[in-house]
Protein backbone atom coordinates (compact mmCIF):
# COMPACT_ATOMS: atom_id res chain seq x y z
CA UNK A 1 0.00 0.00 0.00
CA UNK A 2 1.38 3.27 -1.07
CA UNK A 3 1.02 6.38 1.07
CA UNK A 4 0.04 9.69 -0.47
CA UNK A 5 2.95 12.10 -0.94
CA UNK A 6 3.50 14.56 1.88
CA UNK A 7 3.88 18.24 1.37
CA UNK A 8 6.82 18.42 3.72
CA UNK A 9 10.13 18.92 1.87
CA UNK A 10 12.04 17.06 4.61
CA UNK A 11 9.88 13.96 4.28
CA UNK A 12 9.11 13.89 0.52
CA UNK A 13 11.90 14.18 -2.03
CA UNK A 14 9.38 14.72 -4.85
CA UNK A 15 8.01 17.82 -3.17
CA UNK A 16 8.02 20.64 -5.68
CA UNK A 17 7.59 23.16 -2.87
CA UNK A 18 7.41 26.84 -3.32
CA UNK A 19 5.19 29.57 -2.11
CA UNK A 20 1.49 29.06 -2.60
CA UNK A 21 -0.10 32.49 -3.10
CA UNK A 22 -3.25 33.19 -1.12
CA UNK A 23 -6.51 32.74 -2.98
CA UNK A 24 -7.80 35.75 -4.86
CA UNK A 25 -10.89 37.31 -3.35
CA UNK A 26 -11.93 39.50 -6.24
CA UNK A 27 -11.79 43.24 -6.68
CA UNK A 28 -11.95 45.52 -3.64
CA UNK A 29 -15.44 46.71 -2.70
CA UNK A 30 -16.69 49.89 -4.29
CA UNK A 31 -18.22 52.38 -1.89
CA UNK A 32 -20.95 54.76 -2.89
CA UNK A 33 -21.01 58.51 -2.35
CA UNK A 34 -20.98 59.85 1.22
CA UNK A 35 -24.35 60.05 2.97
CA UNK A 36 -26.44 63.02 2.01
CA UNK A 37 -28.30 65.24 4.40
CA UNK A 38 -32.05 65.79 4.22
CA UNK A 39 -33.68 68.20 1.78
CA UNK A 40 -32.24 71.66 2.18
CA UNK A 41 -29.85 70.63 4.95
CA UNK A 42 -26.13 71.02 4.68
CA UNK A 43 -23.34 70.21 7.09
CA UNK A 44 -22.46 73.10 9.38
CA UNK A 45 -19.14 72.55 11.19
CA UNK A 46 -19.92 75.38 13.62
CA UNK A 47 -22.74 73.50 15.35
CA UNK A 48 -21.91 72.46 18.87
CA UNK A 49 -22.40 68.92 20.17
CA UNK A 50 -25.77 69.68 21.75
CA UNK A 51 -27.16 71.10 18.52
CA UNK A 52 -25.94 68.09 16.56
CA UNK A 53 -27.49 65.70 19.08
CA UNK A 54 -30.88 67.38 19.05
CA UNK A 55 -31.02 68.02 15.31
CA UNK A 56 -32.00 71.21 13.56
CA UNK A 57 -34.04 73.63 15.57
CA UNK A 58 -37.36 74.83 14.20
CA UNK A 59 -37.16 78.18 15.95
CA UNK A 60 -39.17 79.63 18.81
CA UNK A 61 -42.73 80.87 18.77
CA UNK A 62 -43.12 84.60 18.10
CA UNK A 63 -46.25 85.13 20.23
CA UNK A 64 -44.83 83.29 23.25
CA UNK A 65 -41.66 85.38 23.07
CA UNK A 66 -43.65 88.61 22.73
CA UNK A 67 -45.88 87.80 25.73
CA UNK A 68 -42.91 86.80 27.88
CA UNK A 69 -41.19 90.04 26.89
CA UNK A 70 -44.23 92.19 27.70
CA UNK A 71 -44.97 90.64 31.09
CA UNK A 72 -41.53 89.48 32.25
CA UNK A 73 -39.19 91.54 30.04
CA UNK A 74 -37.56 93.25 33.01
CA UNK A 75 -36.38 89.83 34.18
CA UNK A 76 -35.14 88.76 30.74
CA UNK A 77 -37.26 85.59 30.74
CA UNK A 78 -37.93 85.90 27.00
CA UNK A 79 -34.18 85.73 26.36
CA UNK A 80 -33.91 82.51 28.36
CA UNK A 81 -36.81 81.15 26.29
CA UNK A 82 -35.05 81.77 22.95
CA UNK A 83 -31.75 80.35 24.25
CA UNK A 84 -29.83 83.58 24.82
CA UNK A 85 -28.85 82.68 28.36
CA UNK A 86 -25.96 85.13 28.75
CA UNK A 87 -27.96 88.23 27.86
CA UNK A 88 -30.88 86.82 29.85
CA UNK A 89 -28.72 86.81 32.98
CA UNK A 90 -27.57 90.36 32.19
CA UNK A 91 -31.18 91.53 31.85
CA UNK A 92 -32.10 89.72 35.06
CA UNK A 93 -29.33 91.47 36.99
CA UNK A 94 -29.99 94.95 35.53
CA UNK A 95 -33.78 94.86 35.61
CA UNK A 96 -34.00 94.77 31.83
CA UNK A 97 -31.44 97.53 31.49
CA UNK A 98 -33.62 99.72 33.75
CA UNK A 99 -36.52 98.97 31.41
CA UNK A 100 -34.88 100.40 28.28
CA UNK A 101 -33.40 97.11 27.11
CA UNK A 102 -36.70 95.33 27.73
CA UNK A 103 -38.60 98.00 25.74
CA UNK A 104 -36.17 97.68 22.82
CA UNK A 105 -36.64 93.89 22.88
CA UNK A 106 -40.44 94.27 22.78
CA UNK A 107 -40.13 96.51 19.70
CA UNK A 108 -37.68 94.13 18.01
CA UNK A 109 -39.92 91.11 18.68
CA UNK A 110 -43.05 92.94 17.46
CA UNK A 111 -41.34 94.02 14.22
CA UNK A 112 -39.87 90.56 13.56
CA UNK A 113 -36.18 91.48 13.80
CA UNK A 114 -35.52 89.49 17.00
CA UNK A 115 -33.82 86.08 16.50
CA UNK A 116 -33.19 83.09 18.72
CA UNK A 117 -29.79 81.80 19.89
CA UNK A 118 -29.21 80.08 16.51
CA UNK A 119 -29.93 83.34 14.65
CA UNK A 120 -33.17 81.89 13.32
CA UNK A 121 -36.18 84.18 13.10
CA UNK A 122 -39.07 83.62 15.46
CA UNK A 123 -41.88 81.49 14.00
CA UNK A 124 -45.25 83.18 13.53
CA UNK A 125 -48.10 80.66 13.66
CA UNK A 126 -50.99 82.41 11.92
Which residues have C-beta within 8 Å of that of residue 64, sequence separation ≥ 6? 81
What SS3 class is residue 115? strand
Taking alpha carbons only, the member of 2, 20, 22 closest to residue 12 is 2
For the segment 85-97, what is each residue's pLDDT rounded down to a tens digit?
999 999 999 998 9
pLDDT at 34: 63
* Whole-angstrom distance, CA of residue 87 vs CA of residue 90: 5
Compute how many other C-beta atoms are within 10 angstroms of the C-beta atom of residue 104.
Answer: 14
pLDDT at 19: 61
| 67-74, long-range: CB < 8 A, 24+ apart | 69/102, 69/105, 69/106, 69/109, 70/106, 73/102, 73/103, 73/105, 73/106, 74/99, 74/102
For the segment 44-57, what is each residue's pLDDT rounded down to a tens digit?
555 555 555 555 55
Confidence of residue 72 (pLDDT cuts 50, 70, 90): very high
Which residues have C-beta within 8 Å of that of residue 36, sequence separation ≥ 6? none
Which residues have C-beta within 8 Å of that of residue 111, sequence separation ≥ 6? none
Amino acid sequence: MQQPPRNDPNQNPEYQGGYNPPPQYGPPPQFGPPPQYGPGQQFNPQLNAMQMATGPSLGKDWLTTLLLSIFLGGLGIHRFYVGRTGSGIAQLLTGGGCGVWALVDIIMIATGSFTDANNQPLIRNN
